[in-house]
Amino acid sequence: MIYNDNLKMINSEYLKNLNKAQKEAVLYLNGPLLIVAGAGSGKTKVLTSRIAHIIKEKKAFPNQILSVTFTNKAAKEMQNRVSSILNLEATGLSWLGTFHSICAKLLRKHAPAANLTSNFTIIDTDDQVRLIKNICKAENIDVKQLAPKYILSIIDRWKNKGFYPEEVIINKKDIYEKTVLPLYRIYQKKLLDLNVCDFGDLILHTVKILEKNLDIRKIYSNNFKYILVDEYQDTNFIQSKWLNLLSEKYKNICCVGDDDQSIYSWRGAEIKNFLEFDQVYKNSKIIRLEENYRSSQNILSVASSLISNNQNRVGKTLKTTMEEGDLVKLNCFKNGKDEAIGISDEIEKNLKKKYSFNNIAILVRAIFQTREFEERFLKIGMPYRILGGTKFYERAEIKDCVAYLRLVHQEKDDLAFDRIVNNPKRSIGESTIKLIHEYSKKNSVSLEISSKKLIEQNLIKPKTKVGLSSFLFMVEKWRNDLNIKKIGHVKLLQLILDESGYSAMLKNKKDIDNENRLENLKELLNALKEFDSLEGFLEHVALATSVDQDWEGEKVNMMTMHGSKGLEFDAVFLPGWEEGLFPHQKSIEEKGQNGLEEERRLAYVGITRAKKKALISFSMNRFYQGDWIDSMASRFIEELPEKYLEKNSFFDDNKDNKDNEEDFEFNQDFEIENETRSPGWIRYQKRIK
């Protein structure tokens, strides 16, 4: 056995480049171990070195080590790193992979215990949606009101909690669970009948087999002498349960992660797995990796000070091997447009001389925020890419709205007609659309004219005729609103969204992505306001969408803060730090103090993506749903330590202005759980009403 007091006796190559804490984590091989690995602290190096050390010291054979990651990419990187240390010895790591891949392997060996055969198929999301649609049709469930993906999200939540259909206890506060539970029963029976599994089943079935079959559990518990888990803060209940069962005999489980980067509760992750590790695994050891190899000290100081306001955390103090570096910039802008201009100017004038565009990132809280930056970048010809998302004008709901506007503007726009004639659904089926196209081609008229002629000649079925006639009437009405009544193009889109039923379709349909779609529509209204005419806007959109999403070459990166986890950049911009947007109003209202703390962890993740420069900004005004509103600076800004900040001139210009002073300072003593808000929050609410 290797003990901490004889570290000096070890002189292996793979230990040479480890700091004291990293080395301790690698050499501690007796009992449960939680490694609290701060951002950029070299956790992958520790994990791979630990695997190498276990094998090198003959503590276990490679096939007696279970090493679990969340992504195939992380598993591959780990495999390669261990191989580089131990050469051919790493080839025996047959239990290194993702939660899903390892569970699939276990399940195939013991499929009959889950009423499956070993050649079961794993279905993807498209297959799941198709199956749920068929079930809903048979059970007379309207998928327009309750989207299949939303149904599947509830089922997945139950599976993450370890519940088969008969084990589910309905949450009475959730009005949809009562409807979904019978669908879950049918869905699960169908999966078994078809001999297929969804991704949730892979872990759920495996856990149930291990719980109910002591002989099977003993096989694996006896085999896995060491268990290593990456990104432990992102585990859910069922994953934690699985690990607990497999570590039953030896208890040599080592979990690595950072509670301050736990930002996926909406995906089922439970931070309490991390926080309660020492309660679940008795006599466990906690080692903190606090030496950061990514960011400058000033950036770390700001991030550490901010996250220290969270109560539910293990706690650590990050320090860096890097230089002190530049102060973190805090910029206040008059409005969102000025913010986009200010950031693009900073990149153009200062940053592009020092850093590649590929090493510059703009991290937003919500995806709709990219619009103003995209507009600015297109205008000045600055190359950019959207990571983990679609460019604003290429998002489906935006293209739908633009198609409506195009058809109102130009009746011969057949492409626009084709896209929206049955969107939302108006009982206009494919056979009718085919008929319209055939008539159009034969008589050399537009699809709109073709539709009118077919109705006049009574060639459209009665039910379809009602929907098609209504659509044509609305289009004519909107043209009249625009051309005769001379209403503005912003008002026109508001009427279209309302009268077409498009807004109602999104609002009424329970879909996990609908909130983002509705936010995007609001942002589209903001975009329209920036143009003098509908024609000018449509021309702009045409030019904007003609710019291909070319991933090659030098480009500024735009993405959400959630999407940035695990990445790093030389310079990072963090715009939109305003109450209601960040921390997000919905997160706080739904989850109270826990929601606020997760939002703060998200801020921490955002700041710690920066290696050399971090630039935080907010606006005093935002154009929102066609109106200007006064914004409040995020409460997180109040928590940033002054001595590590460099503020722009806007602060100096307004320091004697009491009205503005009120915008920046507000009391943080609030109790969200009791439905009370800070004075700042109350002022903010009054302003937006």
- Per-residue tokens: 562: 């959630």
CA triple 559-393-335, angle to 5 deg: 65
Q: What is the dihedral of CA 357, 360, 365, 367, to 10 degrees?
A: 10
Q: Return the closest-CA partner of residue 496 out of 453, 528, 544, 456.
A: 528
As a whole number of angstroms, the distance between CA 379 and CA 48 comes to: 47
Which amino acid is residue 252, in one-letter code? N
Structure tokens belonging to residue 175? 């009005």
The helix-helix angle for 585-607 and 297-307 (nearest 10°) equals 150
Chain-centre distance of CA 224, in angstroms? 33
d(CA 521, CA 269) in angstroms, rounded, equals 30
Torsion of CA 399, 404, 406, 412, to 10 degrees: 120
Contact 622, 632 (CB under 8 A): no
Q: Taking a C-beta distance cutoff of 8 angstroms, is the pair 395, 520 a contact?
A: yes
- How far apart are alpha carbons 104 and 141 in whole angstroms? 32
Alpha-carbon distances of 220 from 81, 95, 191, 202, 227, rounded to whole Å? 25, 11, 26, 16, 11
User: Tokens 């585990």 appear where?
Assistant: 235
Continuous segment of H or E residues that includes residue 667:
none
Which 3 state secondary structure label does DSSP give 435?
A: helix
User: Reduced to 3 states, what is the DSSP secondary structure of residue 642?
Assistant: helix
Q: In whole angstroms, how large is the CA radius of gyration of the chain?
A: 28
Q: Cα(113)–Cα(127) distance, rounded to whole angstroms?
A: 24
For the annotated catalytic residues, the residue numbers are 43-44, 230-231, 261, 609
Evaluated on CA atoms 180, 182, 187, 188, the torsion sign reads: positive
DSSP code, position 364: E
Place of tokens 């020092």: 354
Question: Do the Cβ atoms of 608 and 303 come closer than 8 Å?
Answer: yes
The 8-class DSSP code of residue 327 comes to P
* Gap between the terminal Cα atoms of the chain: 67
| Other beta carbons within 10 Å of 674 | 8
Query: What 3-state DSSP class applies to 60?
Result: coil
Asked if 43 and 37 touch (Cβ cutoff 8 Å), the reply is: yes
Strand bridging mode 569-574 / 360-364 = parallel
* C-alpha to C-alpha distance for 461 and 467, rounded to whole angstroms: 10
Angle of helix 370-380 relative to helix 514-529, nearest 10 degrees? Answer: 40
Spacing of C-alpha 312 from chain mean position: 22
Q: What is the DSSP letter of 326?
A: P
